[in-house]
Each structure stands twice: as structure tokens, then as C-alpha cells.
Amino acid sequence: MSPLHLRRPASSHPSRRGTLRAPGADLRKLPVALDLSGISIAEGLRAAVASGAVLVLNIWVQSPALLFIAFAANLACFCDVGGALRDRVPSLLFFTGAAAVLWSGLGLLHGFGLPLLLPVTGVVVFCNAMARVWGVRAMAVGNVLTVVLALAVDRAIPPAEAAVLFVAFLVGGAWAVLLTVGIWRIHPERIGTRMVSANWRLLALFARDLGDVLRAQGGGLAEFEAHARAHRRALRDALEETRAALLAAARPSGLAGTVVARNMLAVEDQDRIFGALIALSDMLEYAEGEALPRAAGQMLRRLRPMLDLAGRPGTPRARGHEPALERLKRAAAGHPALADIASVVADRLRIAARLKAEDAGTLPAEPASGGAGRLDAWIAPVRANLSWSSAILRHAVRASVLTMAAVAISLTWWSVYSHWLTITVALTMQPYFAATWQRALERVGGTVLGALIGGLLAFLPQTALVDSLLMVPLSVIGFSVRQVSYGAYVACLTPLVVILFDVAEPGHAEWLIATMRTLYTVGGGIVAVAACCLLWPSWEPDRTAQGLRDALAAHARYAAAVFAARAGNATPADVEAARRVAGVANNNLEASLSRALQEPGRGHRRRLEVIMAADAALRRLGGALIALQHDTHAADGLGEGGWTAWSRWVPETLDRLALSGAAPAVPPPPAPPAGTLARIGRVVEVLGDVVGERTADAAPTADRGAATATAGVR
């Protein structure tokens, strides 16, 4: 996560577009909304100083080497995605060395012509595209190295210039690393603290929107489903991302500091409150009468400001905090299940307040992993994707072939602007069509808007001093909005590219540079989208079906853990771990569904609508299982052996659905019709009907599928 980066989730309103971090309730819509909380001034300042200071110095020195140093520092800022220093510095140093070798080496090879350049290009781009198997950081390095390749093959350079360029790139990259480590050093503990605070705000928005659903006139299952899609996926992803960042901060010496320890415990509190709110949502969805919704509404009104307060810096005043917690619990008095939820939330908020007020000790040391373990961590992801069924492998081959074609075209019909075709084709293509389509729209739209702004720069005085001074504000603006949205990032970056081009290749009018960049970007975007449709496409519906099977299996394990815990055969930690796995599986299913719904063609729409109904039922099943944890009267009215029968039937039925797609072989065991167990049984039966219909390829229409999922669980 970049410095000063704060996340704000999208609203659950189904008509609003989401962002990449909070995709929103409507899976059909591309998540292209602006996430203004992603603005990072520190990242913009670092990039501005890295390149702008060198360019200003070059006004007096007038050395081509300084231009390369400034450009190398700028590219290093592009491939830095933030995070802990021990992760950032190695990736920046690797990029610096690889970029220096790549640019100088390809410049020397240019004289041998296309027969040698094209195979080298294909191999390098393939490796860069495969780097995404190691995560976002490696993917960013691979993308920027592809940009370096596109620029390096543009012209031949003599050995003396290649040596100067090599050293200049090393100096520029080292300068960017120095700024990262020394001037704008980002402590991982601070990043974790910001992420924890952002999670509290996500929980507050969850509570606020749940209260809005409760107060809505005529609010029903559709509103609760939209709320679940908008918030549960974003919150689960945020909690897991925070855990990963905190674990990374805790690993260097095997012993975390007190700040990291407090944040780790705070995330556990947040996850428990998240589960309690899901249970509350499930209770309200099926509540009869007005007493429970009225009490829950009062509880939510008291809870939201307390969650907001937990996310703010500083320590809550104990004098006012405890009475507020007591009022929260009194709001739920008279409703046993609701009172249990309120008690869990109050206890977790009390612990969170205490963690902010005092140190929480340290985390236990982790055993140091040996060299073999570290090597396996690099090899295993590659080995897992060395199959033609891997979307990443097909993407790497596709990117390699298309980039070689773009390089051949650019060098055959060369112009000073032609490298933009190669860059656009390589950076627009993604493993999935939906991601490529979104990237193309955002890149083209952002480039057009940015080109209009860049063209206006032609009215400014055309001097080296003006261009160098413009680099500072343009870098600050461009890099500051990097996390807002890709389209906004490209729009703000295009004027910076225009200035950089004018500095490196003087004598070209700004309006001409902006126009040519727009034309090459539009052409490259069209080629990238067409290639994703025609060259070894990775269509999503088949992966969506596998995602459904994985989610069913994860919920089977979660159900088994819940029933085992109630019988005393499992610990709360086991249940929480299973709940997290089920939540992540549901998120993966919804992400796959979203990509599938955005793909062209209508032949698979009916099948996807049925899987959407199954996804909604799984969300309800997850909520019902959490509610079962808080329902102290769930076993009331069961006959002898009733609880054992339920503890077998639910996991076994879900496993059967995951493995064969067959409907439940036997009906659910007897249970009180208005109880939590009966509701779980109805949801599982609906899942059996829906999955059975999908297996038989006789899916209903969207409305009929949604109606089946909602009516059945009533």
C-alpha cells in the first residue's frame, strides 16, 4: 500500500459503480469509479524530486547522461508499489540492474536486425508477463521492464553510449532507492496502522448501510443481497490484505514490535465484529414482526459512531467509552440472539480501545525459513502455471507474440512515436478479457483527456527551464492519483509524458506529441482487445463453475467446524479460520462472476445467472452459519440425535454438491420451522436445486433464478 493511502468503500447502492477495492453490488458493471481516498501526496513528491531535481540540474550541466538518470529514476518510481522496505528495495534494485542491462544490451543488438531482436523481445516479454505469478510487486516490475524494452529497441546505440547509458541507469535507480529509503522512508508499522483504521471505517459503513436497508420502505431480500455484495467482499479482501501486510512487517527478525502486535490483534477484533454484523444481517433478513428490527436499528445507530471513532487516531476517553458500550448492549436487551451479538461487538470494541491505550506485547517468533523454503516460494508459483490451462501462461504467450509483431511494425515503419504502439499493446493486455476491456477503455479515455491537457502546454514558453519546472507539479499530480483509478492515472500522466518526450526529443510541438500518443494508444488498445478475443482466449465461465465448486467445499468445511465447535470438538480459532477460507472462496467466485458477466457473447448468460443465484445462496448460508454460532437456542426442539444428524447432513450435502453437482440425496433432518437450523436446511436445499439445474444445463432466466434463491430460503 502506498503512503497516505486510505480506502473508502463503495456504497451498496446497486446503481453506483464500484472501485477495484470495493467492486460494488452490481457484478455486471466495470469497477471504474474514482477512489479519491487513494490519493498519495508522498508518492507524488518522491517521483517529482527523483526526476525533477535531476532535470533542473541538467539545465546548467547540459549532459545527456543526466537525462537518462532522470528517466531511470522516473521509471523506478513507476515500478514501486509501496509496502515494507525490505520488499521494496530488492525489487527496485532488481529493476535498476535489469533495466540497465536491457536498454544498453538491446541497443547494441539493434544493428543485427529483426531476426535477432524479435526472438529476444519475445523471451523478455514472456518472462515479464509471467512475473505476475509472484504478485503485484513483481507484475509492476515486469510491466515497466516491458516499457524499457519498447524504448530500447527503438534505435541502435554505439558501445560508448551503451556504457554511459548503463551507468546512468544504475545511478538513476540508486537515486530513487535512496529517496525511498532515506527521505520518504515508509515504516511498515505506519502502513499497517492506516490499514487497520481504514478497516474500522469499512465496518462503520457496513453498519450504516445495513441501517439504511433496515429503514428502507419495502426493503426485502434484494436489498439485503445488494448490501452483502457491496460490503462483504470488500471487507474480507481488506482484512486479508491487512493481515498479509502485518505479517510482512513482523517477519524480518522473527519478532514483531508492539505496534505490529497491536494491529494484528485489532484485525482479529475487526474480523469478529465483521462476523457479528453478518449474523445480524442474517437475523434481520428473516425477522418477523417489528420488535427485532427496531432494536437492531437502535443498536446500529449507536454502533456506527463507535466504529468511526475506533478508526480515528488517538485513544477514546474511558469515561465516555464504557457508558456507550453499555448503551449498545441495552439496545439489544430482550432479544437473546441480538444480545449475544451486541455483547461480542462490545467486548471487541473494548479490547480495541485498550489496545490503542497500551502496548499489547509482542508476537511469538516465527521460525526462520531455510534457503530451500525460500527457493520453493519462487519456484512453486511458476510450476503451478506451467500448464496451457493457466490463464497467466496463455497471457504471457499472447503478450509475447503481439509485442513481437508490434516491434516488427514499429521498426519497419519507424517513427519517433512508434514505440507507443508496442507499449500500449503490451500494457493493455491482461490475462482475462474483462480486465483487458476495462484497461483499454481507461487507457484510451485517460490518454485522450490527458492529451488535451498536454496540448495546452504548447501555449507556454518552450524553454528547458519551463519544461523542467513543469515536471515537478506534473509528477506530483500524476503519481499522487496512481491508486485513484487507472484512467485518472493515465490522464494525469499523459501531460508528464508529453513533457518528458519534449525534453528527450526537442523540436516537436506539444500538440503533435499529444495527438500521436492518442492515435497510437487507440490503435494499440483495439489490437489488445482483439487479441484477447482471438489468440488463445481465457474465457471465464468454466473457471466460474470451478469457483462455485471451491466455494461449496469451503462452506462444507466451515459448516463442519461450526457444528463441531457447538459439540465441543473444535475451538473458536478453528471456526474463525474456516469462516475466513469460506469468505475468500466466495470473494473469488464473485470476482470470477464479474469477469464472466463482462465478457462478450450471450450463450453462457443463463448458466451465469444460475451461478449468481448460487452465490447469493452461499452468502446467506454463511450468514446463517454465523447466526448459528450466536443462537444459544438452536438445539431447542430437536429430538434425540438431532444435532448429530444436522452436523452430518449439512457438510456432507455441500461436499456432494461440490463434487458431483447432485441434489441432496436425503431431506434435512427435522427442526423447528422458524429456527436457524431450518433456515440453513432451506438454503442448502435451494443450493441443491440451483447447482442441479446448472449441471443439467437447464438454467432459468436471471429473474427466475434470483426468485428461486430468495423464495426458497424464506
Entry pTM = 0.68
DSSP 634: T
And the C-alpha cell for 610? 444460475
Question: Kindly report the CA angle at 63 between 62 and 68, in degrees rounded to 5?
Answer: 125
| In contact, 567 and 648? CB cutoff 8 Å | no
Q: Give the C-alpha separation, 442 to 190, whole Å.
A: 32
Quote the cell numbers at residue 312.
Answer: 480515528
Whether residue 637 is predicted with pLDDT greater than 80 in this model: the reply is: no
Is 624 in contact with 683 (CB distance < 8 Å)?
yes
Q: What is the pLDDT of residues 143-163, one digit of tens each?
A: 999 999 988 888 888 888 889
The H or E element that residue 88 is part of is: helix 85-109
Looking from the CA of 146 toward its CB, the CA atoms found within 13 Å total 34
Residue type, position 200, single letter:
W
Q: Please give the Cα distance from 151 to 145 (Å, whole number).
A: 10
Q: Are 229 and 221 in contact (CB under 8 A)?
A: no
Q: Which amino acid is at 653?
A: T
Tally Cβ neighbours within 10 Å of residue 254: 12
Contacts 24+ apart (CB under 8 A), 324-328: 325/349, 325/350, 327/302, 328/299, 328/302, 328/303
* pLDDT over 80 (residue 509): no
Give the percent of the chain with pLDDT over 90.
9
Between CA 312 and CA 201 the distance in angstroms is 9
- Asked if 103 and 148 touch (Cβ cutoff 8 Å), the reply is yes
Question: Residue 607 corresponds to which cell in the numbers above?
Answer: 448458466
The residues, ordered by sequence, that sit 6+ positions from 665 with a Cβ below 8 Å of its Cβ are: 653, 656
The span from the CA of 600 to the CA of 593, in Å, is 13
Q: How many CB atoms lie within 10 A of CB 449?
A: 18
Task: Give yes or no for a contact between 10 and 234, defined as CB atoms under 8 angstroms apart.
Answer: yes
Q: Under 8 Å CB-to-CB from 471, ≥6 apart: which residues? A: 48, 51, 52, 55, 496, 499, 500, 503
Q: Range with the lowest mean pLDDT among 188-192, 441-445, 456-460, 473-477?
A: 188-192
CB neighbours of 542 closer than 8 A, spacing ≥ 6? none
Give the number of other Cβ atoms within 10 Å of residue 265's Cβ: 18
pLDDT-derived band at 248, boundaries 50, 70, 90: low
The answer to whether the beta carbons of residues 283 and 226 sit under 8 Å apart is no
Amino acid (one-letter) located at 345: V
Kindly list the domain boundaries of the chain, sorted by start residue.
40-186, 190-357, 412-538, 541-713
Mean pLDDT of 225-251: 77
- Number of CB atoms found within 10 A of residue 60's CB: 9
The listed range with the strongest mean pLDDT (116-120, 610-614, 687-691) is 116-120
Q: How confident is the model at residue 10 (pLDDT cuts 50, 70, 90)?
A: very low
Take residue 406 and report the three cell numbers written for it. 508490434
HSE-CB for 666 with a 13 A CA cutoff? 10
- Residue 577 is predicted with a pLDDT of 86
Query: Which pLDDT belongs to residue 31?
Result: 60
Among 98-107, 519-528, 672-681, whose mean pLDDT is lowest?
672-681
Task: Tell me the average pLDDT across 417-432.
Answer: 87
Residue pointed to by grid coordinates 481507461:
442
Greater model confidence, 149 or 269: 149
HSE-up of residue 455 (Cα within 13 Å, Cβ side): 13
Mean pLDDT across the stretch 177-190? 66
Query: Which residues have CB under 8 Å from 213's CB, separation 6+?
Result: 12, 219, 223, 224, 227
Q: How confident is the model at residue 526 (pLDDT cuts 50, 70, 90)?
A: very high
Answer for the pair 544, 578: CB distance below 8 angstroms, yes or no.
Answer: no
Nearest to 521 by CA among 551, 505, 497, 502: 497
Type of residue found at 443: R
Q: What is the pLDDT of residue 122?
A: 92
d(CA 356, CA 350): 10
- Weakest-pLDDT range from 13-22, 62-71, 124-133, 418-427: 13-22
The reported pLDDT for the residue numbered 458 is 65
Longest CA–CA span in the chain (Å) reads: 91
Model confidence at 255, in pLDDT bands (50, 70, 90)?
very low
Q: What whole-number distance in Å separates Cα of residue 368 and Cα of residue 252?
A: 9
Helix locations, 481-538, DSSP H:
486-504, 510-534
**pLDDT tier for residue 374 given thresholds of 50, 70 and 90:** low
Report the pLDDT value the prediction gives residue 705, as an integer from 0 to 100.
41
Q: Which of 43-47, 157-161, 180-184, 566-570 has the lowest mean pLDDT?
A: 180-184
Measured CA to CA, the distance from residue 614 to residue 607 in angstroms comes to: 11
Query: Amino acid identity of 271?
Result: D
Q: CA 535 to CA 515: how far, in whole Å?
A: 30
HEC string of 100-142? Answer: HHHHHHHHHHHHHCHHHHHHHHHHHHHHHHHHHHHCHHHHHHH
Range ranked top by mean pLDDT from 273-287, 470-484, 661-675: 273-287
In this prediction, residue 54 carries a pLDDT of: 83
CB neighbour list of residue 320: distance below 8 Å, 6 or more residues apart: none
Distance CA 69, CA 576 (A): 51
More confident residue, 30 or 4: 30
Whether residue 698 has pLDDT greater than 60: no
Residue 406 in this model has a pLDDT that exceeds 70:
yes
Q: What is the mean pLDDT of the chain?
A: 77
| CB neighbourhood size of 68 (10 A) | 23
Higher pLDDT, 362 or 282: 282
Q: How confident is residue 166, by pLDDT bands cut at 50, 70 and 90? A: very high
The residue-averaged pLDDT of 296-323 equals 76
Q: Which residues contact 238 (CB under 8 A, 6 or more apart)?
A: 7, 21, 195, 198, 199, 202
Query: pLDDT per residue over 227-237, tens digit each?
Result: 887 788 788 88
Q: 3-state class of 484 per DSSP?
A: coil
Rounded Cα gap, residues 127 and 118, in angstroms: 14
How far is it, in rounded angstroms, from Cα 587 to Cα 598? 17
* Exposure on the CB side of residue 255, measured as CA atoms within 13 A: 2
Q: Is the pLDDT of residue 490 over 90?
A: no
Question: Predicted confidence band at 4 (pLDDT cuts at 50, 70, 90)?
Answer: very low
Report the C-alpha gap between 674 and 288 in whole angstroms.
10
More confident of the two residues 496 and 521: 521
| Cα–Cα distance list, 492 to 452, 495, 516 (Å) | 11, 6, 17
Question: pLDDT at position 314, please?
Answer: 61
Comparing CA positions, the residue from 215, 207, 213 lying closest to residue 303 is 207
pLDDT at 126: 95
Helices 188-215 and 291-310 cross at an angle (nearest 10°) of: 160
**More confidently predicted of 670 and 129:** 129
Residue 694 has a pLDDT of 60
- pLDDT of 35 reads 60
DSSP-assigned letter for residue 194: H
Distance in angstroms (rounded) separating the CA atoms of residues 679 and 284: 13
Tell me the one-letter amino acid at 370.
G
pLDDT for residue 430? 87
- Cell 519551463 sits at which residue? 466
Spatial contact of 77 and 47, defined as CB atoms under 8 Å apart: yes
**What's the confidence (pLDDT) of residue 603?**
56
Q: Note whether 41 and 476 are within 8 A (CB).
A: yes
Span 118-138, pLDDT tens digits: 999 999 999 999 998 888 888
- Segment 613-633, tens digit of pLDDT: 888 888 888 888 888 887 777
What is the per-residue pLDDT for 504?
67
Q: Please tell me the predicted confidence (pLDDT) of residue 663.
A: 67
Mean pLDDT, rounded, for 689-714: 49
Q: How far apart are CA 223 and CA 216, in angstroms?
A: 9
